[in-house]
Structure 1
Amino acid sequence: MDQSRRQITKIAREVTKFTVREMKAEGIGTAEFDFIHLVRHHPGITQTQIRDALKIDKGAAARRAASLEAKGYLVRRENPNDHRSQLLYATEKAEGLRNSKAAIEQTFYEWLLDELSESDRDSFCRVLNDLYLRSKKEARAGFPEVSARLETGAGEDE
C-alpha cells in the first residue's frame, strides 16, 4: 500500500496548475514551453527531431516553431549539412522564460512551507532531498528496481 498516498504527485499537480496559469498570462502555453525547453537543451535541433521527441505531427511542430519565433523565443538558422532544413535555437528571451518558470514554482513552494516550523521545514527538506537523490540515481540507471517491482506486481494496491 502506498503510504504517501501519492501526495508528492498531487502537490506537483497543484504547482503545475499555478505555473500554467501564470505562464499563460505571459502568453506561453505548456506545449510551447515544452517546445522551448527541448530547444534550450538541444541547441541546433531540427523540427523533425522535435517532432520525434515530443510526438507531435509536422503541422503542429511548424505552427509552434513559427509562433515561438514570432514571439521572440526562437531563432532559425540554416543547417550547413542540409540546406532543406533549419536549426532552431533559443533566444535570451527564452532563457528569461526558464527563469520565470523557476521563480513561479519557487514562490509556490516557499508559500507551501511557510507554515511549518523551522525544524519541521529543515527535516522535511532533508528527507525530500534524500528521496530526490534516490529517484535520480534510479532514473540514471534506467529504473531497474522500479521496473522489477512492476514486473512482479509489488507495490500494487491490494
Structure 2
Amino acid sequence: MAERIIRIATGLIRDSDGRALLVRKRGTQAFMQPGGKIDAGETALQAVLRELEEELALHLHPKDLVTLGQFSAPAANEPGFGVQADLFAVTRSVSPKIQAEIEEMVWVDPSAPGDIILAPLTRDYVLPLCAALSDEGPMAETDCGDVLTRLQNPS
C-alpha cells in the first residue's frame, strides 16, 4: 500500500548564532521546525506565513522568506503517513512567542541538537541544511542550490 502524504509548509528560523528554532506541539514528543498543513486553496507560502503567525505570533511578509526546497520524510505524529514539506527560511530576526498548539520551543545547534527527540524531516534534512548554510555564511537564495544538491545526492 502506498504511503499517504500530508502536504506541509515549514519555516527554518535561525538566530544570530546560527541556532535553529524547533517546536514541540502539545501531546507530542518530537521537536520540529514550526509550520503545518497546507489548507485547500492555499499556497505553501501562504500556509507558512499563517502557521508562523498562529504558532509563534510572527507577523512576516513574503519578502522575509526564502524558499529552500521541498523535502519528503515519514510523518512524526501520524503513523503510516509521510510529509511533503515546502521549507522556507526566515531571513530576518524575530522574537517568537509560544501560542496555539505549541507546548515548547528550543534553540538548538544544528550540528549538535542534543538528546531531544527529532521529527524525521528535521533530523534528516532541516538540521543538516541549517548546519551547511551556517558554514556557508549569510542566508541567501544563491547559498542554497549547491547545499541542497549535496544533501539530496550524497556521494
Q: What is the TM-score of this pair, normalised by structure 1?
A: 0.22
Q: What is the TM-score of this pair, normalised by structure 2?
A: 0.23
Larger % of strand: which? 2
Higher RCO (CA-CA < 8 Å; seq separation 6+): 2
Larger % of helix: which? 1
